Amino acid sequence: MRRIHFLLGVIFALSPSTGWAAYPTPWQMYYQSPATPVMKDIYDFHLMLLSIEGLIVLLVAALLVFVIIRFRASRNKAPSKNAHHTLLEVIWTAIPLLILAVIAFPSFKLLYLMDLTPKSDLTIKAIGNQWYWTYEYPDHDIRFDSNMLTENQLKPGQLRLLEVDNRVVIPTNTNIRVITTSSDVIHSWAVPAFGIKRDSVPGRLNETWLNVKKEGVYYGQCSEFCGIKHAFMPIVVEAVTPEQFQQWLLSKKTAPQTHRGG
């Protein structure tokens, strides 16, 4: 099974439709490269499901070809009058149950891991607004807005419709608790490389967690339709070393903090 997983991973990695990056790419039809333990488990679980589904497709196709050839009309002038076969009925009932059990146990484990928030070293609050994000670092008394850059504000190399004026900065290899809510309508804080999608609901706090293992810039977007400018609410998270994060905290604390309120 591990060899099958490896081969599938290689195939998707070499495929031109695969986007192994922290942002969406043209014709991308597969996951972004996992950046957190949760996303890595989601990726592995998906490969396991893909392997099982592939074997089922091959088995059904082989049986179909066998039946077409073996029981064709020219070879069987008189059709069989058997109405049922007890052993076959037991087999085709037991095998799907076994497959479902094999799928269910790792699925429940993954759901538990996604819902369990471990002891965190940092808390970030993401507040959805029409149509921008506000971020708070309660442990450090930091608050700022994050707005999408317009085309005339973009610098060379920055991504259209994905870049923002203020990125969320986090340290790598750190358990981070993310709390999200909304000041108006329902939004959704989602970053594919983290395996995270949490609804931001007015008057309610939803939480999740992440632990980014590698430095880089990770892009996401609001994933709940929230009005006419729903498509213009990108999320940009920059993961840096703990030392760089401490320097960023210091610069944020000394700089004037402005936000629209709410």
Position 85 confidence tier, pLDDT thresholds 50, 70, 90 = confident
Alpha-carbon torsion (187, 140, 119, 164), positive or negative: positive
The backbone torsions φ and ψ at residue 134, rounded to the nearest 5 degrees and listed phi first, read -115, 135
Q: Based on the number of CB atoms within 10 Å of its own CB, is 24 exposed (0-12), middle (13-18) or buried (19 or more)?
A: middle
What one-letter code names the amino acid at 222?
C
User: Do 181 and 202 touch, CB atoms closer than 8 A?
Assistant: yes
- Residue 259: is its pLDDT beyond 80? no
Could you report the per-residue pLDDT of 20-79, keeping only the tens digit for each?
A: 347 777 777 788 889 999 999 999 999 999 999 999 999 999 999 998 998 888 877 777
Instruction: Tell me the sheet residues that pair with 142.
Output: 137
What mean pLDDT is reported for the chain? 87
Alpha-carbon torsion (168, 136, 184, 208), positive or negative: positive
The backbone torsions φ and ψ at residue 122, rounded to the nearest 5 degrees and listed phi first, read -155, 140
- Calculated CA dihedral for residues 92, 93, 94, 96, nearest 10 degrees: 80
Predicted TM-score (pTM) of the model is 0.78
Q: Going from the N-terminus, what domains does the chain have, and what CATH number goes with each? A: 2-77+84-115 (1.10.287.90), 122-254 (2.60.40.420)
Q: What is the mean pLDDT of residues 222-237?
A: 95
- Residue 80: is its pLDDT beyond 80? no
Q: What is the mean pLDDT of residues 89-100?
A: 92
